[in-house]
């Protein structure tokens, strides 16, 4: 029986800063007063963005750089200026890792087009044998009885083939060779639809996240990837409000105040 699944997003990793090492570096170059504005027990990814930006201009405090007579002391204002001035390179130091669960290979094929600043580890259907065909149906499709009947019949046949092929190849027989299992499983995956649900770890830096959220929530983007990146946008606005708070959401499209950062 066809199993409907919903795409899910899990934030599984975020940057971790070392207060003592920051302090050791600032002791060498000056600027220890900047650390006084931070909470050593609650350092955030935004602190890393600010640190990287200030290092570029040696602007941790006035006087370190003779060209800098005054500095912004409010982090939110400082990071807004980073965005407004398109100083996006400092955002590349901040990476977040997500598990995208029950997303289709339609989505993953589109996602691989975003390559800079990204790392991907995807479930391998060469090794992971399909016992069923988990599948996401958008709401409009689920409201069409005839469409659902015909689509479910197709998916049921594909599931039946997977079960039949595993038995035909003896993949669960005692002593079945793993090399044979891998070879036959690789063949069997060819009879699964592109919409079969899969999973991957997707890591991206903030600069890439900003561009991808904008591109993949745009009105013309594919509907599943729009759904997923709306959720990623919501997560990032909570994680780094100063770096993602400039977006306005209109009909599901995330529109930044500053583009091409």
* Active site positions, annotated: 216
- Contact yes or no for 148/2 (Cβ under 8 A): no
Chain centroid, CA 261 distance in Å: 18
Distance (Å, rounded) from C-alpha 63 to C-alpha 58?
9
Distance (Å, rounded) from C-alpha 9 to C-alpha 21?
32
- Contact yes or no for 135/196 (Cβ under 8 A): yes
CB crowding 183-210: b at 16 or more within 10 Å, else e: ebbeebbeebeebbbbbbbbbbbbbbbb
> Would you tell me how many other CB atoms lie within 10 Å of the CB of residue 95?
20
């Amino acid at each position: 029986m066809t199993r409907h699944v919903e795409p899910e997003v899990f934030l599984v990793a975020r940057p971790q800063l070392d207060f003592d090492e920051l302090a050791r570096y600032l002791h060498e170059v000056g600027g220890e007063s900047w650390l006084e504005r931070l909470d050593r027990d609650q350092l955030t990814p935004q602190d890393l963005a600010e640190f990287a930006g200030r290092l570029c201009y040696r602007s941790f405090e006035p006087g370190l750089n003779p060209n800098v007579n005054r500095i912004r002391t409010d982090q939110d204002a400082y990071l807004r200026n980073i965005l407004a001035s398109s100083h996006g390179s400092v955002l590349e130091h901040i990476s977040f890792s997500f598990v995208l669960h029950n997303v289709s290979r339609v989505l993953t094929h589109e996602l691989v087009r975003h390559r800079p600043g990204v790392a991907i580890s995807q479930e391998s259907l060469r090794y992971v044998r399909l016992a069923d065909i988990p599948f996401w149906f958008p709401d409009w499709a689920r409201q069409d009885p005839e469409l659902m009947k015909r689509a479910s019949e197709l998916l049921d046949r594909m599931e039946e083939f997977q079960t039949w092929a595993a038995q035909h190849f003896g993949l669960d027989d005692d002593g079945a060779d793993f090399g044979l299992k891998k070879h036959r499983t690789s063949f069997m995956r060819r009879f699964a639809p592109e919409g079969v649900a899969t999973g991957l770890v997707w890591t991206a830096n903030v600069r890439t996240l900003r561009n991808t959220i904008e591109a993949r929530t745009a009105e013309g983007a594919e509907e599943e990837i729009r759904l997923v990146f709306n959720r990623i946008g919501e997560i990032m606005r909570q994680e780094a409000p100063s770096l993602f708070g400039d977006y306005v959401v209109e009909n599901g499209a995330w529109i930044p105040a500053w583009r091409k950062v």
